[in-house]
């Protein structure tokens, strides 16, 4: 059975059997126009199904020049690959803009005009870069043109006396244009000094239309008489002179249809209307021109003023009632508009001819428009991804080509999934998805059975690809099937990098220790396809601990015999949980290098105890570790230590009044201890510090066995280089409280940590660091937005609504992903509350009562992606996130989320962008989009 939106029986996958039949042919003697299979030598321009080879190498730039005031054009000596990155800079400043690649030509359109100077265009493809420079001049006036063949006339407002009209002003219009060196019109931004033989003192210049209006007072112009006009651009010295004959009265003669405007997205034009377009939503934009083709002033009342009449020839598709709809300005151009309403059969789609009749000249302007055809999916063809697809891979993205009913390439999700021509997906294995991306395009992904990634058996390591058929069936269109080769499951075959310790520079101070955990993110492997595999990926452990056809897997360590790093011995680590950590320590009185080779190896189970029986799977990773004795270090220093909380017997008090006597006497503070607390996800404590030194440009951590506190230190330290307590002789009560205030206000004090570093010299090296202290109790002082593993406070976050809802319990992940992103999940979007010492107090991921949330600055999208205008609703604003809920959120909406700690003024805001709905997808198992769009977006089917 072919799945097309219903529910399959449990455990069943959708499949499709493709059968091609031909209609019975009726015999005929008529000549056939069908293509012949007979070979021919005649050249043909007919399209071929044979795929052309896309360019893969980057050629040289043969020419770079400015072609517009805001445009550079580069010519290459060969076709430019589509994935080439194009950048333009002026000096060290990057120029914003958009590049378009067309064969061997690259056009870069900057967002603003290019100012005078040298510009560099750089094309990058992989590791290959090609650059060229060109000099650009500021845009300047190159030509002034009088475009009028004749000066058409008009009458101005009537001049009245005592309420009676006695005369009207007589006007004539002369049109002009101003061009820069690229032939672009710059009349809008250029001032020309005009002199006219008629009405020079009262003339008016409209730069937007390029129109000079001259007045002859109340005296009528004589047809054929001449008006002399001269224009001068002072800055460039460019001039123009002409004599223009007076013509007939000016009238609307033709119009230029610009396209449709969605009133909910009134900043852009579209060429066609969608099927079932709603009422009171679209207008048709146009501009008017006179008998000589000159643009007229936009009014938006051309029908009411008797200038134009609009009719259409398909009233079942578009309603016959067409009325004035005012004016709209798009990209700096002003348009008049008329209403366009759906007819009774708009759901069928089709074509309509709309005719504008100029009432005074009789001229007709006709344009054909399409309703719905561009919104019909005709075909969807998948291509094999560029990278290897392996058993168990998840969310593999596919390149595709989708065509509409006109044969145009499309990428928008709306047309591909919500077309009247229903799309059905098939997959012989795994799940094939078409999802809506956050920019409104369709993304196509395939997910294999995830368990295959870690099921290392004979089938997953036989070097034979598995074939998976993926199909797209367009009801009313075409069907396509591709065969996806799926290779063996990914497995580690070599090492890419091994992080010895937190210094991450393959060097270690003598007497220091380190643990190389083969299953941690500090170790990066390469799989057999050249992709990275971090050690904490489940695939690594599954492979190491698997036995495939009697073959064991492990990691071989091979040393050069230098024992400067104790614990790095010739050994095979089999990958068992108790045999996955290489514990090492450094020991050398001189600088020594130890070369260690790491490799992934295999051996028969029967021989695994024999070191030499293990064979390398791929290349060895050779790493040279340097052991540095303490005496070879320079620039030793103590790391930065943030403000510390200390516990005293007055920490629970608001001020020092209870300690007045001690403060007045300057008595020492006895028993003060440093209060530790976690500052990150790894549990790093706020009171822990480190001591480092420099060697050969590398910063190395010095083991704590080399240093201890010495005279002058206010602190004692505990194991792990942690501040522990305060020496009572180094801290007095009047240092913690201001005795000059009425209630002995608490204040900060700075004390020194002083260490003596035993570097082998006679007296050692004394190190010190200032540390700020306070005995104030920890209180909430900061809010941090947490959206990724310990990454704080991004400028903005994208959340996906679930059935248009954003709440504390919904899945708001940026799909495709198997991880959830909710307000309440510990692993993702939430807030963390920190105290004044930089210690994390708590996470607001439980009942949502730690903070109050408000939603402000709501901006509903008005783009074509918007289906239900003014639908964004907020409930529970100002409460905990378990009560906060947003409904009616659609892709493109945005808002500001502010979290506030109750009872305080401490708050933080973040911009939230609304992405594509999590239910905007179809797969070979589920047409979630149909349920979503009919329930939430107003679709009938």
Find the CATH number of the domain harbouring 190: 2.60.40
pLDDT recorded at residue 669: 97
Name the residue among 432, 402, 431 with its Cα closest to residue 418: 402
Establish if 646 belongs to a structural domain.
yes
Distance CA(180)–CA(139), nearest Å, equals: 6
590 shares a domain with 528: yes
Q: Which residue has the higher pLDDT, 824 or 659?
A: 659
Cα separations (Å) of 87 from 124, 132, 133, 678, 766?
Answer: 8, 11, 12, 44, 52
Q: Hey, what are 555's tokens?
A: 């990691």
CA atoms within 13 A on the CB side of 547: 6
Q: Hey, what are 774's tokens?
A: 């306070």
Average pLDDT estimate for 6-11? 30
Name the residue among 776, 762, 635 with its Cα closest to residue 700: 635
521 shares a domain with 602: yes
User: In Å, how far from its chain's centre is CA 820?
Assistant: 19
Establish if 50 belongs to a structural domain.
no
Name the residue among 915, 887, 912 with its Cα closest to residue 831: 912
551 shares a domain with 533: yes
- Cβ neighbours of 458 (radius 10 Å): 8
Establish if 720 belongs to a structural domain.
yes
Q: Which residue has the higher pLDDT, 112 or 17?
A: 112
Which residues, other chains included, contact 767 with Cβ-Cβ below 8 Å and sequence gap of 6+?
Answer: 636, 637, 638, 691, 707, 754, 755, 756, 757
- Cβ neighbours of 916 (radius 10 Å): 26
Cα separations (Å) of 922 from 209, 384, 444, 484, 595?
Answer: 50, 20, 10, 19, 54
233 shares a domain with 272: no
Distance CA(695)–CA(793), nearest Å, equals: 35
Domain of residue 71, CATH code = 2.60.40.10
Burial of residue 475 (number of CB atoms within 10 Å: 0-12, 13-18, 19+): middle
pLDDT over 60 (residue 239)? yes
Asked if the bond preceding 281 is cis, omega within 30° of 0, the reply is: no
pLDDT recorded at residue 255: 95
Distance CA(875)–CA(538), nearest Å, equals: 41
Average pLDDT estimate for 890-911? 92
Beta bridge partners of 517: 581
Give the model's confidence band at 160: pLDDT under 50 very low, under 70 low, under 90 confident, else very high.
low
C-alpha torsion sign, points 930, 932, 935, 937: negative
pLDDT recorded at residue 163: 60
Give the model's confidence band at 149: pLDDT under 50 very low, under 70 low, under 90 confident, else very high.
very high
pLDDT recorded at residue 815: 56
Establish if 625 belongs to a structural domain.
no
886 shares a domain with 803: yes
**Which 3-state string (H, E, C) describes 618-645?**
CCCEEEEEEEECHHHCEEEEECCCCCEE
Q: What is the DSSP letter of 383?
A: -
pLDDT recorded at residue 796: 86
Distance CA(692)–CA(630), nearest Å, equals: 10
Tell me which of 347, 372, 397 is where a domain ends. Answer: 372
Give the model's confidence band at 246: pLDDT under 50 very low, under 70 low, under 90 confident, else very high.
very high
pLDDT over 80 (residue 592)? yes
Distance CA(206)–CA(214), nearest Å, equals: 12
Cα separations (Å) of 937 from 231, 278, 698?
Answer: 57, 12, 59
pLDDT over 60 (residue 3)? no
Tens digit of pLDDT for each residue in 555-590?
999 999 888 888 889 999 988 888 899 999 999 999
309, 356 contact by CB (below 8 A):
yes
Q: Report the mean per-residue pLDDT for the chain.
A: 88
Average pLDDT estimate for 332-354? 87
787 shares a domain with 928: yes
DSSP output for 145-213: EE--SSEEEEEEEEEEETTEEEEEEEEEEEEEEEEETTS-B-GGG---EEEESSSGGG-EEETTTTEEE
336 shares a domain with 295: yes
101 shares a domain with 187: no
Region of 162 on the Ramachandran plot (φ > 0 left; ψ -120 to 50 alpha; else beta): left
Tell me which of 583, 617, 651 is where a domain ends. Answer: 617
Establish if 9 belongs to a structural domain.
no
755 shares a domain with 847: no
pLDDT recorded at residue 460: 75
Q: What percent of the chain has pLDDT over 90?
A: 69
pLDDT over 60 (residue 50)? no
pLDDT over 60 (residue 47)? no
Average pLDDT estimate for 86-102? 94
pLDDT recorded at residue 940: 62
CA atoms within 13 A on the CB side of 228: 1
Establish if 531 belongs to a structural domain.
yes
834 shares a domain with 878: yes
Give the model's confidence band at 77: pLDDT under 50 very low, under 70 low, under 90 confident, else very high.
very high
Distance CA(322)–CA(345), nearest Å, equals: 17
Establish if 867 belongs to a structural domain.
yes
Beta bridge partners of 716: 725
Establish if 54 belongs to a structural domain.
no
Beta bridge partners of 240: 231
pLDDT recorded at residue 21: 32
- Cβ neighbours of 911 (radius 10 Å): 15
pLDDT recorded at residue 828: 56
861, 890 contact by CB (below 8 A):
yes
pLDDT recorded at residue 101: 95
512, 501 contact by CB (below 8 A):
yes
Q: State which residues form the domain around 743.
A: 634-774
150 shares a domain with 106: no
The H or E element that residue 100 is part of is strand 97-102
Average pLDDT estimate for 762-776? 96
Q: Which residue has the higher pLDDT, 868 or 675?
A: 675
pLDDT over 90 (residue 158)? no
Q: Hey, what are 362's tokens?
A: 């009789």
Name the residue among 596, 601, 646 with its Cα closest to residue 772: 646
Q: Minimum mean pLDDT among 38-42, 367-371, 629-633, 678-682: which range?
A: 38-42
Average pLDDT estimate for 388-409? 92
Tell me which of 227, 249, 271 is where a domain ends. Answer: 249
365 shares a domain with 267: yes
Domain count along the chain? 7
């Amino acid at each position: 059975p072919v799945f097309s939106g219903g529910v399959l029986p449990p455990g069943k996958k959708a499949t499709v059997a493709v059968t091609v039949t031909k209609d019975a042919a009726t015999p005929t003697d008529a000549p056939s126009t069908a293509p012949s299979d007979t070979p021919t030598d005649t050249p043909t321009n007919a399209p071929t199904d044979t795929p052309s080879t896309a360019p893969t190498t980057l050629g040289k730039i043969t020419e770079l020049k400015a072609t517009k005031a805001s445009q550079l054009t580069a010519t290459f000596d060969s076709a430019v690959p589509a994935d080439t990155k194009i950048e333009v800079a002026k000096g060290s400043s990057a120029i914003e803009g958009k590049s378009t690649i067309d064969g061997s030509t690259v056009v870069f359109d900057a967002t603003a005009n290019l100012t005078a100077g040298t510009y560099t265009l750089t094309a990058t493809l992989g590791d290959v870069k090609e650059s060229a420079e060109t000099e650009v001049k500021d845009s300047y006036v190159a030509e002034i043109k009088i475009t009028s063949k004749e000066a058409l006339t008009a009458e101005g407002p009537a001049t009245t006396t005592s309420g009676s009209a006695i005369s009207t002003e007589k006007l004539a219009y002369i049109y002009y244009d101003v061009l820069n060196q690229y032939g672009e019109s710059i009349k809008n931004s250029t001032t020309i000094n005009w002199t006219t033989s008629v009405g020079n003192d009262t003339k008016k210049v409209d730069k937007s239309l390029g129109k000079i209006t001259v007045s002859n007072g109340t005296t009528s112009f004589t047809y054929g008489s001449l008006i002399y006009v001269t224009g001068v651009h002072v800055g460039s010295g460019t001039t123009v002179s002409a004599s223009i004959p007076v013509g007939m009265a000016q009238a609307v003669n033709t119009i230029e249809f610009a396209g449709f405007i969605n009133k909910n997205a009134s900043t852009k034009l579209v060429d066609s209307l969608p099927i079932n377009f709603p009422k009171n939503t679209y207008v048709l934009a146009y501009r008017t021109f006179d008998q000589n083709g000159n643009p007229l002033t936009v009014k938006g009342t051309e029908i009411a003023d008797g200038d134009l009449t609009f009719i259409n020839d398909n009233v079942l598709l578009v309603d016959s009632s067409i009325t004035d709809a005012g004016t709209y300005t798009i990209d700096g151009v002003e348009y008049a508009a008329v209403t366009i309403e759906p007819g009774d059969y708009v759901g069928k789609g089709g074509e309509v001819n709309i005719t504008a009749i100029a009432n005074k000249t009789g001229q007709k302007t006709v344009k054909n428009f399409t309703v719905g055809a561009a919104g019909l999916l005709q075909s969807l063809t998948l291509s094999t991804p560029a990278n290897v697809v392996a058993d168990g891979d998840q969310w593999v993205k596919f390149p595709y080509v989708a065509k509409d009913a006109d044969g145009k390439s499309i990428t928008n999700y709306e047309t591909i999934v919500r077309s009247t021509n229903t799309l059905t997906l098939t997959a012989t294995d795994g799940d094939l998805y078409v999802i809506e991306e956050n920019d409104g395009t369709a993304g196509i992904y395939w997910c294999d059975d995830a368990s295959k990634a870690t099921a290392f058996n004979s089938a997953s390591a036989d070097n034979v690809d598995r074939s998976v058929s993926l199909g797209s069936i367009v009801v009313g269109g075409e069907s396509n099937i591709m065969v996806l080769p799926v290779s063996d499951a990914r497995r580690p075959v070599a090492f890419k990098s091994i992080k010895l310790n937190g210094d991450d520079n393959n060097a270690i101070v003598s007497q220091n220790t380190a643990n190389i955990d083969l299953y941690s993110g500090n170790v990066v492997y390469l799989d057999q396809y050249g992709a990275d595999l971090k050690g904490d990926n489940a695939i690594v452990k599954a492979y190491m601990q698997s036995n495939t056809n009697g073959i064991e897997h492990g990691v071989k360590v091979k040393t050069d015999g230098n024992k400067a790093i104790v614990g790095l011995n010739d050994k095979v680590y089999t990958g068992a949980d108790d045999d996955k950590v290489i514990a090492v320590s450094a020991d050398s009185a001189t600088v020594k290098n130890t070369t260690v080779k790491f490799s992934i190896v295999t051996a028969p189970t029967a021989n695994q105890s024999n070191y030499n029986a293990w064979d390398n799977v791929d290349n060895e990773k050779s790493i040279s570790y340097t052991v540095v004795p303490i005496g070879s270090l320079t620039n030793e220093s103590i790391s930065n230590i943030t403000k510390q909380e200390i516990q005293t017997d007055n920490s629970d008090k608001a001020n020092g009044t209870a300690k007045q006597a001690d403060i007045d006497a300057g008595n020492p503070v006895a028993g003060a201890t440093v209060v530790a607390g976690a500052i990150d996800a790894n549990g790093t404590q706020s009171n822990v510090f480190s001591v480092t030194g420099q060697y050969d440009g590398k910063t190395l951590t010095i083991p704590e066995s080399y240093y201890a506190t010495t005279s002058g230190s206010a602190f004692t330290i505990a194991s792990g280089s942690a501040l522990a307590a305060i020496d009572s002789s180094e801290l007095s009560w009047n240092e913690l409280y201001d005795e000059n205030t009425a209630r002995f206000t608490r204040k900060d004090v700075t004390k020194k940590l002083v260490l003596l570093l035993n570097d082998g010299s006679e007296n050692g090296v004394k190190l010190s660091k200032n540390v700020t202290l306070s005995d104030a109790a920890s209180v909430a002082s900061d809010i941090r937005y947490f959206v990724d593993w310990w990454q704080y406070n991004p400028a903005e976050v994208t959340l996906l609504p679930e059935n248009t809802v954003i709440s504390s319990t919904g899945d708001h992940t940026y799909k495709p992903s198997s991880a959830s992103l909710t307000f309440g999940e510990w692993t993702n979007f939430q807030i963390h509350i920190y105290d004044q010492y930089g210690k994390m107090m708590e996470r607001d991921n439980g009942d949502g009562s730690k903070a109050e949330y408000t939603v402000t600055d709501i901006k509903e999208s008005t783009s074509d992606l918007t289906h239900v205008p003014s639908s964004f609703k907020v409930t529970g604003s100002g409460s905990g996130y378990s009560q906060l809920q947003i409904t009616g959120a659609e892709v493109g909406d945005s808002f500001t989320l502010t979290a506030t700690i109750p009872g305080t003024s401490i708050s933080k805001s973040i911009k939230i962008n609304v992405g594509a709905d999590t239910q905007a997808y179809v797969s070979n198992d589920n047409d979630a989009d149909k349920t979503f769009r009919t329930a939430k977006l107003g679709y009938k089917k």
